[in-house]
Amino acid sequence: MRYYQAILFFIIIPAIVMSALHGCAVNPATGRRDFVLMSENQEIELGKKYHAEILKQYKIYNNPELQTYVSGIGEELAKVSHRNNLIFRFTVLDSPQVNAFALPGGYIYITRGILAYLNSEAELAGVLGHEIGHVTARHSVRQHSAGTMSSIFSTIIAFKTGSRSYSDLSQILGGSLLAGYGRSHELEADRLGAEYLARTGYAPDNMIDVIGVLKNQEVFAKARAKAEGREINTYHGVFATHPANDKRLREVIAAAKNYQTAAQRPDNRDTYLQMLNSVIYDQSPTQGIIRQGLFLHPDLGIAFKLPQGWRTQNLPDRVLMINQPRDAVIQLTVIDLNKRESPKEFLSQALGNPTPISSRALQINGLDAYSMITESNTSFGKRLTRYVTIFNGNRAYLFAGTVKDNAMMQTLDDTFLKTASGFHRITAAEKELAKPYRITLHTVKRGENYASLAAKTAFPDYREQRLRLINGQYPAGEPKPGATIKLVQ
**Which contacts (CB < 8 Å, 24+ apart) does range 285-291 have?**
285/434, 285/435, 285/436, 286/59, 286/62, 286/94, 287/59, 287/94, 287/95, 287/314, 287/316, 288/314, 288/319, 289/434, 289/436, 290/314, 291/433, 291/434
Cβ 394 vs Cβ 405: under 8 Å: no
Residue type, 400: A
In this structure, what DSSP letter does residue 447 have? Answer: T
Cβ 374 vs Cβ 356: under 8 Å: yes
Name which CATH class applies to 289-432: alpha beta
* pLDDT given for residue 240 in this prediction: 52
Angstrom CA distances, 321 to 224, 288, 291, 332, stand at 18, 14, 15, 9
Q: Supply the CATH classification number for the domain 437-488.
A: 3.10.350
* pLDDT given for residue 278 in this prediction: 98
Q: Residue 189: CB partners within 8 Å, gap ≥ 6?
A: 130, 131, 133, 134, 137, 139, 237, 238
d(CA 85, CA 87): 7
Q: Which of 50, 23, 51 has the alpha carbon at shortest distance from 38?
A: 23
* pLDDT given for residue 27 in this prediction: 67
Q: Where are the domains of the chain?
A: 34-276, 289-432, 437-488
* pLDDT given for residue 229 in this prediction: 73
Q: Per-residue pLDDT tens, the chain, 489 aa: give them.
A: 444 344 443 444 444 444 444 455 656 666 565 555 678 888 899 899 999 999 988 999 999 999 999 999 999 999 999 999 999 999 999 999 999 999 999 999 999 999 999 999 999 999 999 999 999 988 776 565 444 433 333 333 333 333 333 333 333 333 433 333 356 778 888 899 999 999 999 999 988 888 888 888 888 888 888 887 777 766 655 455 555 567 888 888 888 888 887 678 999 999 999 999 999 999 999 999 999 999 999 999 999 999 999 999 998 889 999 999 999 999 999 999 999 999 999 999 999 999 999 999 999 999 999 999 999 999 899 999 999 999 999 999 999 999 999 999 999 999 999 999 999 999 999 999 999 999 999 999 999 999 999 999 999 899 999 999 999 999 999 999 999 999 999
Q: Residue 393: CB partners within 8 Å, gap ≥ 6?
A: 301
* pLDDT given for residue 274 in this prediction: 98
* pLDDT given for residue 236 in this prediction: 58
Q: Report the half-sphere exposure of 221 (CA within 13 A, side-chain side).
A: 15
* pLDDT given for residue 257 in this prediction: 87
